[in-house]
Structure 1
Amino acid sequence: MTTDHPYVFHFSEAEPNRLDGGHIRGAHEQNFPILENQRGSVYLIHLDPGGIREPHWHPSAWEFNFVVSGHARWTVLGTHPDGAYHNDLFEVGPSDLVFAPQGFFHYFENISETEGLDVLVVFNTSTREPNDDIGIVGTLNSLPRSVLAASFGVPVSAFDQIPDEIKPVVITRHYTGTE
Structure 2
Amino acid sequence: MTEISRRSMIAAAGGAMMASPALAQTAPAPAAPLPRRGSKGADILGPTNDPRAAEEPFTQAPPATDHGTMPNLKWSFSDSHMRLEEGGWARQTTVRELPISKAMAGVNMRLKAGVVREMHWHKEAEWAYMIKGKARITAVDQDGRTFADDVGEGDLWYFPGGIPHSIQGLAADGVDGCEFLLVFDDGGFSEDSTFLLTDWLAHTPKDILAKNLGVPESALAKIPEKELYIFPGPTPGPLAADKMGGAGDVPKTFSHRMLAQEPIRTRSGRVRITDSTVFPASVTIAAALVEVEPGGLRELHWHPNSDEWQYYLSGKGRMTVFGSESKARTFDYQAGDVGYVPYAMGHYIENTGDTTLTFLEMFKSPRYADISLNQWLALTPHPLVQAHTGLDPKQIDALSQTKTPVVPG
TM-score, normalized by the shorter chain, greater than 0.5: yes
> Partners in 2 of 1:11 and 1:90 — Cα distance?
28
Q: Does 1:167 align with 2:314?
A: no
Alpha-carbon distance change, 3 to 49 in structure 1, aligned in 2, over 3 angstroms: same
Shift of 1:164: 4.2
Shift of 1:48: 1.2
Q: Does 1:97 align with 2:338?
A: yes
- 1:25 aligns with 272
Larger radius of gyration: 2
> Partners in 1 of 2:268 and 2:314 — Cα distance?
16
TM-score (norm 1): 0.80
- 1:59 aligns with 304
Alignment of 1:133-172 (within 5 A): 133-152=370-389, 154=390, 158-162=392-396, 163-172=398-407
> Partners in 1 of 2:385 and 2:281 — Cα distance?
44
Kindly provide the CA deviation profile for residues 101-143 of structure 1, in whole angstroms up to 9, marking residues without a partner as x. Answer: 111001101112x300110110112224xxx211011111122
Structure with the higher fraction of residues in helix conformation: 2
Aligned CA RMSD, in angstroms, stands at: 2.0
> Partners in 2 of 1:48 and 1:164 — Cα distance?
22
2:150 counterpart SS class: coil
Task: Say whether the 8 Å CA contact 2:277–2:367 is kept in structure 1.
Answer: no
2:383 counterpart SS class: helix
Task: State, as a whole percentage, how many aligned pairs show the same letter.
Answer: 25
Alignment of 1:3-152 (within 5 A): 3=150, 6-35=253-282, 38-79=283-324, 84-112=325-353, 114-128=354-368, 132-152=369-389
Task: Say whether the 8 Å CA contact 2:301–2:372 is kept in structure 1.
Answer: yes
Q: Quick one: which amino acid aligns to residue 86 of structure 1?
A: K
Shift of 1:22: 0.8
Alignment: residue pair count: 161
Q: Quick one: which amino acid aligns to residue 334 of structure 2?
A: G
TM-score (norm 2): 0.37
Higher RCO by CA contacts (8 Å cutoff, separation 6 or greater): 1
> Partners in 2 of 1:51 and 1:99 — Cα distance?
20
Q: Quick one: which amino acid aligns to residue 3 of structure 1?
A: D
